[in-house]
Amino acid sequence: MRLAWLTDIHLDFLDRGKRSDFLASLGAVDADALLVGGDIGEAPTVDGFLRQIAVAVGRPVFFVLGNHDFYRDAIARTRDRMRDLCRTVPHLVYLSQEAVIPLTESTALVGHDGWGDGRYGNFMQSPIRLNDHLLIAELTGLPSSTLLERLNRLGDEAASHLKRVLPNALASHPRVLLLTHVPPFQAACWYQGRTADDDWAPFFSCKAVGDLLVDLMSQRPDRHMTVLCGHTHNSGKAEILKNLVVWTGGAEYGTPEIQPLIEVC
């Protein structure tokens, strides 16, 4: 089985002609299914972009959302819309609201949006603030201590979902693919060939998910997990354990691309 993986495609940065060309390229790719790792557009546009992708591809489109996909609305409302969208549009599957997806006899797929949960690095000392904290309803206008609590909660929510679904995936399949937007380790948070420092790491990695993955995979040395993430717009590979590898996809605004095709058996 061949999978085409996209991350941080930001289709709202393309004019109509370039977007049409990119969608046509997705339809022509030699893959059985598409994995879309978030930052597809913004909340007012993400529904339409996902519809266009599903129509262009005509095959299963498994996706999670990134932080930009919630801009100019609320996280909860946007996720509710994704549930309704997947009920009405063939081929769309929002992994944050799904359990285990068997891809082959040996490989299962799970996923969640994830979130930069403020636990890696030094959140309270960091001078960094993101547009997330201006453009997402649940994160707007908060003092630092309250913002950190909200980010912690979002990371815990991602970890809680994966804690429910991953044991079943590991029980039934020797190999698991995990699609998420935010790197679950600071060691997988790449920027220009280096990993993020303690100022940026709180916003670009999800420790709650990382801790869960290390715990689960340490208990299952007979299983192997590959994590596919993005968010940093820089590519890299991090081998966390012998049976736990994280690939971070690169991206540039205005020039979306398909990551190297993934073969699963």
User: What DSSP string runs through 132-176?
Assistant: HHHHBGGGTT--HHHHHHHHHHHHHHHHHHHHHHHHHHHHH-SEE
| pLDDT at residue 251 is higher than 90 | yes
d(CA 260, CA 98): 25
Q: 22-48 pLDDT, tens per residue? A: 999 999 999 999 999 999 999 999 999
Cβ-based neighbours of 262, under 8 Å, separated by 6 or more: 2, 3, 4, 5, 35, 177, 228
Q: 151-180 pLDDT, tens per residue? A: 999 999 999 999 999 999 999 999 999 999
In the predicted model, what is the mean pLDDT of residues 96-123?
98
Which of 70, 85, 72, 78 has its CA nearest to residue 116? Answer: 70
Decide: helix, strand or coil at residue 231. Answer: coil
| pLDDT at residue 6 is higher than 90 | yes
Question: 194-195 and 190-191 as β-strands: parallel, antiparallel, unpaired?
Answer: antiparallel
- In the chain, % of residues over pLDDT 90: 98
Give the confidence band of 148 by pLDDT, cuts at 50, 70, 90. very high
Q: 184-233 pLDDT, tens per residue? A: 999 999 988 899 999 999 999 999 999 999 999 999 999 999 999 999 99
Cβ-based neighbours of 213, under 8 Å, separated by 6 or more: 162, 178, 184, 225, 227, 240, 244
Angle at 116 between CA 195 and CA 123, to 5 degrees: 80
Query: For the whole model, what pTM was predicted?
Result: 0.98
More confident position, 265 or 108? 108
Give the helix/strand (H/E) hosting 92.
Answer: strand 92-94
Lookup result for tokens 């990134």: 66
pLDDT at 192: 85
Decide: helix, strand or coil at residue 64. Answer: strand
| pLDDT at residue 132 is higher than 90 | yes
